[in-house]
Amino acid sequence: MKILLVNGPNLQLLGVREPGIYGGETLQEIVGRVCSLGKELGAEVTAFQSNHEGDIVDRIGNAKMEGFDGIIINPAAYTHTSVAIRDAIAAVTLPAVEVHISNVNSREDFRHVSYTAPVCTGVIAGFGSDSYLLALRALCTHITKKQKS
């Protein structure tokens, strides 16, 4: 099983950016934890981070032809603004899980609207960096069930 892990803008700043909201782990540490869990679950995880919307759209758009079985995405600020990322997720028809470190619904009003969630299989938010691990477990289970049916 191959999983694409996509991280959006400013997530390269994890560990120093608002640790009261996002915690003290760096993106590299989180990705390492996700990749380790992936090995335990029999999934190869490939991580990608960009601050540029078009790069994220391109990476998602190529995912299916690159043999990925699913996507975990933290679109970050693009969650609330990007029709292009939403359309890319919809177009590739791969199961996708939207992830957020913080509980976006307990924050500013503009964070309550996700353009990407309606085209994702599910959303996991508010569990800190463990949200990524929960997303990977959920996505692997979903893919396995889908392959069996």
Return the active site residues: 22, 100
Output the six-digit token pair for 106: 């307990």
Angle at 69 between CA 124 and CA 134, to 5 degrees: 25
Residue in 55, 109, 102 with CA at minimum distance from that of residue 82 = 55
139 within 8 A of 97, measured Cβ to Cβ: yes
At 110 the three-state DSSP class reads helix
Distance CA 111, CA 107 (A): 7
Half-sphere exposure of 20 (CA within 13 A, CB side): 1
Distances (CA, A) of 30 to 21, 109, 132: 15, 27, 8
